[in-house]
Amino acid sequence: MKNTIFLLAAILIFAGCKSNEKPNTTPTTTTVEADKPSLVYEQEKNLQNMKQLTFGGDNAEAYFSFDNKNLIFQASNEKWKADCDQIFMMPIEGYGDTAPPMLSTGLGRTTCSYFMPGNQSILYASTHLGNKACPDSPRSVGGKYVWPIYSDFDIFVADLEGKITKRLTDEPGYDAEATVSPDGKKIVFTSTRSGDLELYTMDIDGSNVKQVTSGLGYDGGAFFSPDSKQLVFRTSRPTADEDVKVYKDFLKQGLVQPTNMEIYVSDVDGSNLKQVTKLGKANWAPYFHPSGKKILFSSNHHSKSGRQFNIFSINVDGTGLKQITFDEAFDAFPMFSFDGKKLVFSSNRNNGGTRDTNVFIADWVE
């Protein structure tokens, strides 16, 4: 979550808190069925025919198979026997109230699943080799909001029956947040093997590992451009002496602060690094628009409280910022289908005032 990065922890905190702001965002009165209001807010002009795919629990980072028929996602849901994040699969039509099949082991904590080329296997990160129990998930240290960076995370490949067929990483420390290039040749992931949280690429079989980023800060949640030549990711870049000290001290404890992040792009080898957003606060969960010329991402820069996250689009050169979603609590993790026709994302909309975060899919309209 991707992101991830423990972006689901952000859901539990930010999505679970009501914003003090009262933006002028009211759902449209158009009805989908006689007794069911539309899931789309009237300002959400790019989204049509929205459908809710999960109903309860914390569901996030839903990503399409290469044939656009299925979604792989992470969820914690007691009814599904997932006390902490596990990996599940569903068709793009969803399963309704029926539990989808779990493809992870059910042990440890998992994150950042993605389909492999051919759609017959997936990759995901898991802590199960280090500890079969759900690890503790600290969210505040010294009054500062934090994400845990579990050193037990490694990246695995599993078939659609849930059998692990390969371990892709075997280095000390954190290896997670893996996604696959559209051409099926490369994987990008985040690792602490250098002593900092940097991006790396490897070939689809786990060979030929290369470091991509090197600046101090948390580089993560990376995705490839549609032509597989660029990366988009979110990063923190502490520069003030006190900020650097706090970042390094937290990293030694396996923690990071995700409250100040911006969106960057680079070539796959790390060259031509460019900062796209300069908005302040937390800008993350980026994904390329099918044109390769724009990026969708989640941000709270527009929220005085910092608790409202919505999806925005921006041109790769940093111009043309536009708000896409308007839920009053939380919208994030956008991904386009490979044919560019649909957008899947996670949201707190239509959750009956609970903390549930669910997966939604909609037709994309330019």
Lowest mean pLDDT among 37-46, 72-81, 339-348: 37-46
For residues 308, 309, 315, 320, the Cα torsion angle rounded to the nearest 10 degrees is -20
CATH of domain 7-364: 2.120.10.30
pLDDT one-digit tens code per residue, 250-304: 999 999 999 999 999 999 999 999 999 999 999 999 999 999 999 999 999 999 9
Q: With contact defined as beta carbons under 8 Å apart, do 130 and 148 qualify?
A: no
The whole-number average pLDDT for the span 141-164 is 96
pTM: 0.91
pLDDT of residue 38: 82
The kind and range of the H/E element at 9 are: helix 7-10
Predicted confidence (pLDDT) at residue 24 exceeds the cutoff of 60: no
- Least Cα distance to 116 among 205, 50, 190 occurs for 205
Residue 152 contacts residue 24 (beta carbons within 8 Å): no
What is the average pLDDT score of the chain? Answer: 91
Domain locations along the chain: 7-364
Distance CA 134, CA 115 (A): 24
pLDDT class of 328 with cuts at 50, 70, 90: very high
pLDDT tier, 97 (very low <50, low <70, confident <90, very high otherwise)? confident
Q: What pLDDT was estimated at residue 309?
A: 98
Spatial distance between the Cα atoms of 274 and 91, rounded to a whole number of angstroms: 36
Examine the pLDDT at 4 and tell me if it is beyond 80: no
Query: What does the pLDDT read at residue 11?
Result: 38
pLDDT per residue as tens digits for the range 177-227: 999 999 999 999 999 999 999 999 999 999 999 999 999 999 999 999 999
Alpha carbon of residue 57 to chain centroid: 16
Over range 47-62, report the average pLDDT.
Answer: 97
pLDDT band at 2; cut points 50, 70, 90 = very low
Q: What percent of the chain has a predicted confidence (pLDDT) above 90?
A: 89
pLDDT at 31 over 60: no
The pLDDT value recorded for residue 33 is 37
| Angle, CA of 207, 262 and 191, to the nearest 5° | 25
CA 289/CA 16 separation, integer angstroms? 29
Torsion angles phi and psi, residue 322, rounded to 5: -145, 135
